[in-house]
């Protein structure tokens, strides 16, 4: 089953989406990220992959057909995940609303080719609803499921024991016995810690079969939501409750819904629990600041009894006196109703509107004395600024009793910037931008509250300026953003002429069915080995020694490959295997080949390298100062440059800085090398944009003629320029290992290693110097038109000075 793809490994991309079906009256079918799903959590569930939806060998599902024919795939790597998201939606809702469709897709298919703007919603709904014809039903025998609910499930692994109790009392007993054991519902937090920090838990408790943790009830104080309810359920509960309640009671619910519509993707919302979101206390977690300012209450239980804890800034900061005790669990959360004189707002700024961690988030609440604009209570919390959610508690206390006006806003901004301090060396960078967001959110809250007061007391605030009213964030009108428009071709154009016509991707159907074969989808070859690399942990250092003795003793490890094993040239501009020294963190030093990926990774961890640190060069400016260039300097000069500047009427010079970027292609760098029986020939299957370079570098490394190396590239799962040079080095590493062992070698990078090793789009630093003269008009004109753009681009890339001529004719500049 190769349709489900590995993209990021942390539940962020959706390429690995499957549908989980359980005997649950609320949500029988839900999309889920398979990369986060522990196998133990699937007991009693059915897992449907894209192969179970449709196939070109049997019959494709209408979802798959429409996705392909409506040009919904490009590289196609994540397309199976898109199919599963739509499929799971239709299994729960045969006729979903527009909001449900958008939530399920989170912008993926909101762009549909149509000529009229008012047809967009109808087109999307038609796309979805006409795909529901051939769905099948899964049968869950009630007696069997009832029996399963009565017995405790215990799974024993090599290092971890997984326990799924059936009652709250049993859970509390287990928590008393294993106070350090985490409670895992969706595994969206614990798995991240395991992936990034190698966290290890001997005991894991899985409380998904405890009714008390799924309670949903309405009280006089507010809504009580079970801690195990997923965020998608919370969203649906609030959406159902808001229209039934008086508007003044729903302000916190509306603020939460604002975040729940954009927080993560539908797969994560269908897995992550409310209790897990709260107790993990991530600084970027969007709901916690809103729940805190709304005075939410945690209902806790332990063997010692029950108690309540206020979800406030001290709890989010992890203060001992306000925290959960090791033997306690969160059973449910009380989210109180808001009041008439309450105003609650939620804010977040991320790199994209949906499915992205927030850079900064915030929850703000103000309570006025009845019938006035005098502040009786004020709460302001920010996430994304420090390691925990931060409160501007002191600033809020100073502002109580003040009138809600411009003077208060000015004072509030000053106080918040003083209290919420962000040092220039703060993790995550973008310090000035994040400090700006602190004030920006506060200003938006001020305007929203002012607008609310205007609506409540129109006569008192009749003087509210048009400028402030227009500053409020309003939904865009007119042409919807992201709509692709194309014109019909001329009626006289030949039907055989493809120019201007939308034509379906040749592999579109295979993309949608998961039958398009990428490198890691190629079936294992007889005798195939897996490869894992050992990378530098120093920025600049000499390699004193490499000790692979412990790695070779790991069961399944076949060999360790270093630069000494390269028969020919060890790379060109960059070394494939580091030899005498390393020049960056993440540079490949050696490789471990083993019978399985797990054994190769285990072996790589056992390799010991001794370094002698050298002075690192960390910036472009330092590199220029030390004349540390990868290639020779390039200059473009014409004529006597110095004389031209001396005779210039005006000289303009300055610097240009452009930051770097990571290439986030969904298919990580992958290569499979298969030695042939005769003449030392090799087949290299690789995901690359530059197959010729792969062939040349592998042949050079093995000291062979290029025609001995057959390079195969069927398709690439995304690249964006990131698979031009690096895949050649990865191919060399795998080819040298295959040459040494005489066996096929598969080398597929995991996401964290791919991001570590590859350089991405590098930052640029350019210096420019321009001279201006009032003569030679024709020459200057030709120079700018024919050479200006290209010239500037080359000089930016070489980080060197360039000069040109510019002419001023009257008020215009050429």
* 153 in any annotated domain: no
pLDDT in tens, 299-344: 999 999 999 999 999 999 888 888 899 999 999 999 999 999 999 9
* Mean pLDDT across 792-814: 30
* Mean pLDDT across 117-142: 46
Band of residue 789 on the pLDDT scale cut at 50, 70, 90 = very low
Residue that is written with structure tokens 């967009």 in the block: 120
Res. 133: pLDDT tops 60: no
Q: Tokens at residue 645, please?
A: 């500047």
* 559 in any annotated domain: yes
Neighbour-count burial for 480-490, b at 16+ CB within 10 Å, e otherwise: eeeeeeeeeee
Q: Tokens at residue 704, please?
A: 């062979």
Res. 26: pLDDT tops 90: no
DSSP state of 188: T
For residues 277 and 314, is the Cβ–Cβ distance under 8 A?
no
Structural domain ending residue among the three candidates 430, 447, 470:
470
Res. 89: pLDDT tops 60: yes
Q: Tokens at residue 577, please?
A: 């295997």
Residue of 134 and 767 predicted with greater confidence = 767
pLDDT of amino acid 565? 97
Give the rounded percent of residues in the chain with a pLDDT score beyond 70: 85
Query: Do 672 and 650 reside in the same domain of the chain?
Result: no
pLDDT of amino acid 196? 60
pLDDT of amino acid 803? 32
Residues 6+ apart with CB under 8 A from 33: 11, 14, 16, 17, 267, 268, 271
Q: Tokens at residue 420, please?
A: 């919420």
* Mean pLDDT across 119-129: 44
Task: State how far the Cα of 805 lies from the Cα of 778, in Å rounded to an integer.
Answer: 11
Res. 573: pLDDT tops 50: yes
Element (H, E) at 588: strand 588-594
Residue 258: how many other CB atoms lie within 10 Å: 16
pLDDT in tens, 336-372: 999 999 999 999 998 887 778 889 999 999 999 998 9
* 751 in any annotated domain: yes
* 501 in any annotated domain: no
Specify the range with the lowest mean pLDDT, choosing from 276-290, 504-518, 748-762, 768-782: 768-782
Query: Do 754 and 629 reside in the same domain of the chain?
Result: no
* Mean pLDDT across 771-788: 45
Query: Do 767 and 744 reside in the same domain of the chain?
Result: no
Task: State how far the Cα of 342 lies from the Cα of 284, in Å rounded to an integer.
Answer: 25
Res. 146: pLDDT tops 80: no
* Mean pLDDT across 572-582: 93
pLDDT of amino acid 448? 94
* 336 in any annotated domain: yes
**Residue 678 three-state SS:** coil
* Mean pLDDT across 286-304: 95
CA within 13 Å, CB half, 295: 15
Residues 6+ apart with CB under 8 A from 749: 668, 669, 670, 730, 757
Residue of 353 and 214 predicted with greater confidence = 214
Query: Do 300 and 388 reside in the same domain of the chain?
Result: yes
Number of domains in the chain: 4
Left (φ > 0), alpha (ψ -120 to 50) or beta: where does 60 sit? beta
Query: Do 441 and 403 reside in the same domain of the chain?
Result: yes
Query: Do 113 and 243 reside in the same domain of the chain?
Result: no
Query: Do 462 and 567 reside in the same domain of the chain?
Result: no
529 bridge partner residues:
745
pLDDT in tens, 27-40: 588 999 999 999 99
* Mean pLDDT across 598-624: 93
The CATH number of whichever domain residue 424 belongs to comes to: 3.30.390.50
Q: Tokens at residue 324, please?
A: 């959960």
Residue that is written with structure tokens 């939501």 in the block: 225
* Mean pLDDT across 165-173: 95
Task: State how far the Cα of 168 lies from the Cα of 154, in Å rounded to an integer.
Answer: 16
Show the domain range for 87: 17-143
Residue that is written with structure tokens 């499915």 in the block: 355
Res. 764: pLDDT tops 50: yes
pLDDT of amino acid 144? 60
* 405 in any annotated domain: yes
- 215 burial class (0-12, 13-18, 19+ CB within 10 angstroms)? middle
pLDDT in tens, 480-534: 444 445 567 888 888 888 888 888 899 999 999 999 999 999 999 999 999 999 9
- Helices 62-69 and 79-92 pack at an angle, to 10 degrees, of 130
**What is each CA distance from 67 to 81, 287, 415, 507, in whole angstroms?**
12, 33, 52, 12
Res. 624: pLDDT tops 90: no
Task: State how far the Cα of 235 lies from the Cα of 239, in Å rounded to an integer.
Answer: 6
- For the residues of 314-329, what is the DSSP string, one character each? HHHTT-GGGSPPTT-E
Task: State how far the Cα of 388 lies from the Cα of 319, in Å rounded to an integer.
Answer: 11
The CATH number of whichever domain residue 46 belongs to comes to: 1.10.150.120
pLDDT in tens, 662-679: 888 999 999 999 999 888
Task: State how far the Cα of 331 lies from the Cα of 567, in Å rounded to an integer.
Answer: 63
Please state, rounded to an integer, the average pLDDT across all residues of the chain.
Answer: 84
Residue of 222 and 625 predicted with greater confidence = 222
Specify the range with the lowest mean pLDDT, choosing from 503-507, 643-647, 722-726, 801-805: 801-805
pLDDT of amino acid 195? 62
**What is each CA distance from 19 to 87, 102, 163, 520, in whole angstroms?**
8, 18, 23, 22
User: Which ranges constitute the DSSP H helices of 660-703?
Assistant: 691-702
pLDDT of amino acid 811? 29
* 533 in any annotated domain: yes
Task: State how far the Cα of 650 lies from the Cα of 652, in Å rounded to an integer.
Answer: 7
**Residue 600 three-state SS:** helix
pLDDT of amino acid 768? 83
Longest distance between any two alpha carbons in the chain, whole Å: 95
User: Residue 311: which of 297, 322, 294 has the closest Cα?
Assistant: 297
User: Residue 66: which of 18, 127, 24, 111 has the closest Cα?
Assistant: 127
Band of residue 648 on the pLDDT scale cut at 50, 70, 90 = confident
User: Which ranges constitute the DSSP H helices of 151-216?
Assistant: 168-177, 190-197
* Mean pLDDT across 91-98: 85
Output phi, psi for 765, to 5 deg: -135, 115
Query: Do 774 and 727 reside in the same domain of the chain?
Result: no
The alpha carbon of 240 is separated from its chain's Cα centroid by a whole number of angstroms, namely 30
Res. 255: pLDDT tops 90: yes
CA dihedral for 305, 308, 311, 313, sign (positive or negative): negative
Structural domain ending residue among the three candidates 143, 159, 194:
143
Angle at 346 between CA 340 and CA 349, to 5 degrees: 160
Name, of 31-45, 189-203, 646-660, the range with top average pLDDT. 31-45
User: Residue 591: which of 580, 610, 572, 578 has the closest Cα?
Assistant: 578
Task: State how far the Cα of 587 lies from the Cα of 535, in Å rounded to an integer.
Answer: 5
Query: Do 262 and 354 reside in the same domain of the chain?
Result: yes
Edge-to-edge strand order for the sheet containing 557-561?
A: 557-561, 588-594, 529-535, 745-748, 670-675, 682-686, 709-712
Query: Do 580 and 631 reside in the same domain of the chain?
Result: no
* Mean pLDDT across 124-140: 47
* 10 in any annotated domain: no
Task: State how far the Cα of 472 lies from the Cα of 446, in Å rounded to an integer.
Answer: 10
Res. 152: pLDDT tops 80: yes
pLDDT in tens, 727-743: 999 999 999 999 999 99
Band of residue 446 on the pLDDT scale cut at 50, 70, 90 = very high
* Mean pLDDT across 416-440: 89
Q: Tokens at residue 294, please?
A: 């709304």
* Mean pLDDT across 432-458: 91
Structural domain ending residue among the three candidates 470, 490, 507:
470
pLDDT of amino acid 606? 96
Element (H, E) at 394: helix 393-399
Task: State how far the Cα of 179 lies from the Cα of 187, in Å rounded to an integer.
Answer: 18
CA within 13 Å, CB half, 745: 30
Output phi, psi for 64, to 5 deg: -65, -40
Query: Do 435 and 547 reside in the same domain of the chain?
Result: no
User: Residue 584: which of 533, 536, 534 has the closest Cα?
Assistant: 536
Query: Do 656 and 671 reside in the same domain of the chain?
Result: no
Res. 800: pLDDT tops 70: no
Band of residue 813 on the pLDDT scale cut at 50, 70, 90 = very low
For residues 347 and 441, is the Cβ–Cβ distance under 8 A?
yes
């Amino acid at each position: 089953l190769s349709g489900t793809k590995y993209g990021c490994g942390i539940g962020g991309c959706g390429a690995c989406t499957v549908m989980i079906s359980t005997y649950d009256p609320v949500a029988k079918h839900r999309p889920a990220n398979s990369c986060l799903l522990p196998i133990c959590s699937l007991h009693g569930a059915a897992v449907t992959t894209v192969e179970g939806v449709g196939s070109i060998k049997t019959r494709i599902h209408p979802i798959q057909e429409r996705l392909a024919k409506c040009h919904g795939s490009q590289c196609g790597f994540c397309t199976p995940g898109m199919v599963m998201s739509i499929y799971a939606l239709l299994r729960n809702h045969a006729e979903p609303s527009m909001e449900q469709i958008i939530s399920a897709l989170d912008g993926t298919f909101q762009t549909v080719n149509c000529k009229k703007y008012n047809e967009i919603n109808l087109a999307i709904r038609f796309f979805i609803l006409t795909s529901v014809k051939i769905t099948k039903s899964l049968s869950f025998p009630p007696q069997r499921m009832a029996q399963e609910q009565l017995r405790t499930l215990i799974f024993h692994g090599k290092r971890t024991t997984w326990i799924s109790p059936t009652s709250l009392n049993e859970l509390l007993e287990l928590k008393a016995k294993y106070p350090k054991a985490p409670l895992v519902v969706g595994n969206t937090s614990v798995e991240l810690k395991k992936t990034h920090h190698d966290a290890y838990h001997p005991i894991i408790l899985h409380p998904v079969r405890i009714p008390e943790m799924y309670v949903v009830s309405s009280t006089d104080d507010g809504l009580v939501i079970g801690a195990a309810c997923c965020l998608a359920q919370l969203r649906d509960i609030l959406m159902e409750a808001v229209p039934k309640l008086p508007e003044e009671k729903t302000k916190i619910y509306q603020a939460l819904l604002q975040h729940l519509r954009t927080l993560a993707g539908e797969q994560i919302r269908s897995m992550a629990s409310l209790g897990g979101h709260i107790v993990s206390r991530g600084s970027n977690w969007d709901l916690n600041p809103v729940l805190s300012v709304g005075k939410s209450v945690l209902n806790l239980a332990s063997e010692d009894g029950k108690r309540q804890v206020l979800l406030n800034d001290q709890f989010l900061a992890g203060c001992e006196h306000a925290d959960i005790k090791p033997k306690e669990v969160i059973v449910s959360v009380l989210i109180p109703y808001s009041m008439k004189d309450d105003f609650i707002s939620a804010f977040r700024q991320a790199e994209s509107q949906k499915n992205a961690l927030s850079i900064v988030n915030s929850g703000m609440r103000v309570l006025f004395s009845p019938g006035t604009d005098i502040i009786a209570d004020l709460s302001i919390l920010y996430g994304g600024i420090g390691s925990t959610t931060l409160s501007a508690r002191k600033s809020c206390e100073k502002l109580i009793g003040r009138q809600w006006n411009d003077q208060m806003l000015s004072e509030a901004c000053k106080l918040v910037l003083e209290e919420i301090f962000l040092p220039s060396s703060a993790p995550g960078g973008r310090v000035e931008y994040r400090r700006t967001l602190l004030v920006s959110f506060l200003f938006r809250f001020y305007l929203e509250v002012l607008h609310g007061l205007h609506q409540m007391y129109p006569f008192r605030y009749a003087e509210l300026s048009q400028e402030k009213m227009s500053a409020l964030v309003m939904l865009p009108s007119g042409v919807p953003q992201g709509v692709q428009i194309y014109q019909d071709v001329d009626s006289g154009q030949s039907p055989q002429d493809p120019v201007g016509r939308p034509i379906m991707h040749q592999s579109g159907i295979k993309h949608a069915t998961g039958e398009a074969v990428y490198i890691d989808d190629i079936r294992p070859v007889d005798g195939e080995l897996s490869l894992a690399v050992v990378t530098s942990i120093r920025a600049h250092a000499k390699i004193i020694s490499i000790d692979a003795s412990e790695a070779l003793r790991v069961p399944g490890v076949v060999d360790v490959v270093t630069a000494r094993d390269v028969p020919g040239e060890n790379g060109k501009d960059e070394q494939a295997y580091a030899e005498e020294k390393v020049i960056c963190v993440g540079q490949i030093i050696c490789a471990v080949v083993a019978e399985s990926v797990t054994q190769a990774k285990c072996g790589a961890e056992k390799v010991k390298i001794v370094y002698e640190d050298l002075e690192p060069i960390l910036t472009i400016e330092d590199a220029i100062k030390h004349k540390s260039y990868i290639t020779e300097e390039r200059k473009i000069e014409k004529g006597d440059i110095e004389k031209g500047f001396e005779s210039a009427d005006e000289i303009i010079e300055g610097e240009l800085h452009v930051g770097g970027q990571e290439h986030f292609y969904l298919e990580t760098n992958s290569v499979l090398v298969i030695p042939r029986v005769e003449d030392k020939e090799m087949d290299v299957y690789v995901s690359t944009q530059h197959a010729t370079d792969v062939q040349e570098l592998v042949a050079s490394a093995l000291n062979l003629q290029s025609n001995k190396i057959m390079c195969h590239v069927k398709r690439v799962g995304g690249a964006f320029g990131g698979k031009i040079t690096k895949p050649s080095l990865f191919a060399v590493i795998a080819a040298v290992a295959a040459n040494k062992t005489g066996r096929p070698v598969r080398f597929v990078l995991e996401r964290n290693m791919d991001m570590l090793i590859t350089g991405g789009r590098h930052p640029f630093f350019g210096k420019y110097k321009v001279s201006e003269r009032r003569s030679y008009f024709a020459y200057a004109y030709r120079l700018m038109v024919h050479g200006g753009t290209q010239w500037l681009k080359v000089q930016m890339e070489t980080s060197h000075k360039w000069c040109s001529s510019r002419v001023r004719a009257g008020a215009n500049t050429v």
